[in-house]
Amino acid sequence: MTVADTDLTRASATELAALIRNRAVTASEVTESALARVGALDDRLHAFVERTDDLARSTAAAVDAAVERGDEVGPLAGVPIAIKDLIATAGIPTRNGSPAYESWVPEDDDVVVERVRAAGAVILGKTTVPEFGYSGVGHNPISPAARNPWNPELTPGGSSAGSGIAVATGMAPMALGSDGGGSVRIPASLCGLVGFKASMGRVPLYPGCRDERFPGVSSWETIEHIGPMTRTTADAALLMSVIAGPDPRDRHSLPAGDVDWLGCVSEQAVASAVAGLRIGYTPDFGYMPVDPEVRGVVDAAVGAFGELGATVVEVDAHIDDPQPHFWPIVMADSDLVGMRRLVEEYGVRMSPHLVELVRHPWSAEEFSDAQMARKRLVNQMWKLMNGIDLLITPTLAVPAFPIGTQGPELIDGRMVDQGRWLGFLSMFNLTGQPAMSVPAGFTAGGLPVGLQIVGPHLGDAAVLRAAAAFEEARPWTSRWPEVVHGG
């Protein structure tokens, strides 16, 4: 398979938006390039479960007409975007990777979809997810398994699996993902991207996990986040500038105005982003097994922050392992009664690990113990962050692994449960802190490795500035998967 290189599919969203506004290229030309890339690669990689070619072309034509008239257009006018299939899209099927929703076409957009449409973005389609997002990998019972563009025999991660593939291959310069336990940051790490989970409440959620009418969909109530997946930090800031801000339908949403998203990635902001900061680094939180090659890549990358003028210290984190308490919190956050009805009707076709979770005889004691553990974690993390400005960890304990499992059972010579590789992530969903995965480098076998930058509660600007400074010091956008070149 050969995919011809084109400047348009390699351009960033920020660059494309400017080119379209300045009439250097039309939105229709950009859209046709994106659709051609999807057509060339998606049968192999399975990024999309629903393509919206006609909608994309009509949106692009409307943008071109507005530009031709001299109208003021939105900040994403003509920029292609992929939407995770857990995010509701009015008039477009939203299957959630589940047989229970195979024919569901929402009547309403999620808030973030309302906002990207209003900003002029061109929706290319809906992207592959595991069933209801209850997994860190990219396969579900109703569509082909998503494949990592760096090695199609391996997982791209999940649950924003298809979104990661789309951005990593230039099908779209940006995508919307959701992150209830790492689901933006996992594919960002495994596919070599930027993935940002902002502070809880920065990006409003509705209907999604706030709508009680849809069991399975209405999950992750107190830990879900929606965020950007992009190839550059500037593009992440651009998308955040569109989707962030309060909405009265989400009681958790935060007031706008304290973060200048685009200002965070300005040349002036980046130049002094980390100088003088005290940055903590933990390679393992004292209990996490980590693949030695991953640790080596991240150890080397962390040095960039010292070169930029920060004081980097390895911290003794004193953080209890939250992983045993994660699923009780998820299930307490979800419509467990409604999901059990779905299992009764569709269980033989549903994902076995999800059915097992739903059928587990959860007790009040399990839920209560998990909530107390969450409170301890919040307090422990506050004490840790009180002595540093930012925290850096590996994003994941391993690089990409073969499709067909939920995770490796052996890490650095230690037998582990299949979720252990995700141990750096869900704690920041439980605390609500901002966390961003950025590319740190590659293994000897050419697989991406991510580095996670974490800020204190509401410290989103500091995270974004530090990520932009790291990108400038260790640029990554020139390297593309071989499949893009015809491998």
Q: Which of 178, 183, 334, 437 is the catalytic position?
A: 183
**Is 367 within the bounds of a domain?**
yes
Count the residues in the chain. 487
pLDDT at 4 over 60: no
Which of 376, 383, 269 shows the shortest CA–CA distance to 317? 383
* Tens-place pLDDT, residues 109-166: 999 999 999 999 999 999 999 999 999 999 999 999 999 999 999 999 999 999 999 9
139 falls within a domain: yes
Distances (CA, A) of 186 to 116, 214, 330: 23, 26, 18
Q: Clarify whether 383 is annotated catalytic.
A: no
Residue 319: name the closest of 391, 367, 234 by CA: 391
Q: CB count, 10 Å around CB of 91?
A: 12
Residue 266 annotated in active site:
no
Q: Is the pLDDT of residue 20 over 80?
A: yes
At 487, the pLDDT band (50, 70, 90 cuts) reads very low
Q: 292-345: per-residue pLDDT in tens? A: 999 999 999 999 999 999 999 999 888 999 999 999 999 999 999 999 999 999
Residue 418 in domain: yes
pLDDT for residue 209: 60
Kindly give the pairing relationship between strand 278-281 and strand 311-314: parallel
Q: Give the pLDDT confidence score for residue 256 in this predicted structure.
A: 86
Q: Domain range spanning residue 68?
A: 7-485
Residue 2 domain flag: no
The reply to whether 368 belongs to the active site is: no
Which of 3-7, 95-99, 205-209 is the least confident region? 3-7
Q: To the nearest 10°, report the CA torsion of 112, 47, 238, 223.
A: 50
Q: Is 158 left (phi over 0), alpha (psi -120 to 50) or beta?
A: beta
Answer yes or no: is pLDDT of 3 > 50.
Answer: no
The confidence score (pLDDT) of residue 6 equals 54
Quick check: 457 pLDDT over 70?
A: yes
36 lies in a domain? Answer: yes
Mean pLDDT of 386-401: 98
Residue 369 lies in a domain: yes
Q: Nearest-5° angle of CA 47, CA 94, CA 60?
A: 70
The total of structural domains in the chain comes to 1
Instruction: Check which CATH number belongs to the domain holding 384 and give it.
Output: 3.90.1300.10
Express each pLDDT in 356-389 by its tens digit.
Answer: 999 999 999 999 999 999 999 999 999 999 999 9
pLDDT-derived band at 2 (thresholds 50, 70, 90) equals very low
Give me the pLDDT at residue 486, please. 65
Mean pLDDT of the chain: 96
- Cα dist. 456→81, 84, 309, 365, 377 in Å? 30, 27, 20, 30, 13
Q: Does the pLDDT of residue 428 top 80, yes or no?
A: yes
Catalytic residue among 12, 84, 143, 197: 84
With bands split at pLDDT 50, 70 and 90, how would you rate the model's confidence at 210? Answer: low
pLDDT at 1: 29
1 part of a folded domain: no
Judge whether 308 lies within some domain: yes
Nearest CA among 117, 113, 177, 123 for reference residue 146: 177
* First-to-last C-alpha distance (Å) of the chain: 7
Residues 162-208 pLDDT 10s = 999 999 999 999 999 999 999 999 999 999 999 999 999 999 998 86
Of 178, 158, 188, the residue nearest 243 (C-alpha): 178
Q: What gap in Å lies between CA 330 and CA 343, rounded to an integer?
A: 17
pTM: 0.97
Per-residue pLDDT at 71 exceeds 50:
yes
